[in-house]
Amino acid sequence: MPDSLKFLVADPLPGVQTFARQLLLGHGFAADNILCCADPDTALVQGLVFKPHFLITDWFPRAALSGIQLHQRLREALPSLQLSLLSFEVTPEHRSEAETRGARFLLKKPFTAEQLRTEMNRTLEALAGKPPAAGRERAHRPATWAVRAPLPPVLIVKPGDKVRFNGDLHVAQHVVHRNGGTVVQLRGLDRFVPLDKLQPA
């Protein structure tokens, strides 16, 4: 697996962007070869300049430019661009379309760190033309596939979800995605709390 591969991650959730970046860094890919965007329009503009080899994108079902369309547009300039999809809704129709588009995987949100890690491991090893890790002796695995310290699950919070903050149980009232990250207003509190300060209930 060449370390020069470039990855474009398009997802509205900062937690997903951060985890995907950490996962790829853990596989030995350079930070400069990983670009994260929060919306498909930005991903299209930056992707045409960045020229990624692999697109990991949310489905963006309500956006003017969906994740599928983002891949189509980028492939006009990058014919060999690989695709993987993330979506809160995964129907048989979604799976059929993802398969038709040649997606490496379609992962339903919310997912755990281990689920995304498993899908990415399988995908990257397939791209490298190697058999699955389970079929090889651990001692012969390349250094880029070495297991790193476990990463925390991606926390996805929606209004009405129960979360823990400073050890106390709270209910999320409003969730706001900003350029600087995601913040959550908890019921009964008059301020927003950064997502990374919360834990699952």
Beta carbons of 157 and 175 less than 8 angstroms apart: yes
**What torsion, rounded to 10 degrees, do the Cα atoms 180, 181, 186, 190 define?**
0
Quick check: 166 pLDDT over 60? yes
Give the whole-angstrom CA distance, residue 118 versus residue 100.
22
Give the whole-angstrom CA distance, residue 111 versus residue 18.
14
Instruction: Give the pLDDT of residue 38.
Output: 92
- Based on the domain organization, do 130 and 56 belong to the same domain? yes
Q: Domain with 128 in it: what CATH number?
A: 3.40.50.2300
Instruction: Give the pLDDT of residue 113.
Output: 80
Number of domains in the chain: 2
- Based on the domain organization, do 35 and 113 belong to the same domain? yes
Q: Round the average pLDDT of the chain to a whole number and report it.
A: 81
* Rounded mean pLDDT, 49-62: 94
- Based on the domain organization, do 184 and 114 belong to the same domain? no
Quick check: 129 pLDDT over 90? no
- Return all residues near 187 (Cβ < 8 A) that are at least 6 apart: 170, 171, 172, 173
* Rounded mean pLDDT, 123-139: 55
**What percentage of the chain has pLDDT greater than the value 70?**
82
Q: Could you tell me the residue range of the domain that residue 137 belongs to?
A: 7-145
Tell me the pLDDT band of 150, cut-offs 50, 70 and 90. Answer: very low
Residue 62: inside a domain: yes
Instruction: Give the pLDDT of residue 65.
Output: 94
pTM: 0.65
Tell me the pLDDT band of 94, cut-offs 50, 70 and 90. Answer: very high
- Based on the domain organization, do 107 and 133 belong to the same domain? yes
- Based on the domain organization, do 28 and 102 belong to the same domain? yes
Residue 57: inside a domain: yes
- Based on the domain organization, do 139 and 167 belong to the same domain? no
Quick check: 46 pLDDT over 60? yes
- Based on the domain organization, do 140 and 167 belong to the same domain? no
Instruction: Give the pLDDT of residue 132.
Output: 43
Q: Report CA-CA distances (Å) from 1 to 18, 19, 25, 29, 150.
A: 22, 21, 14, 10, 22
Instruction: Give the pLDDT of residue 2.
Output: 56
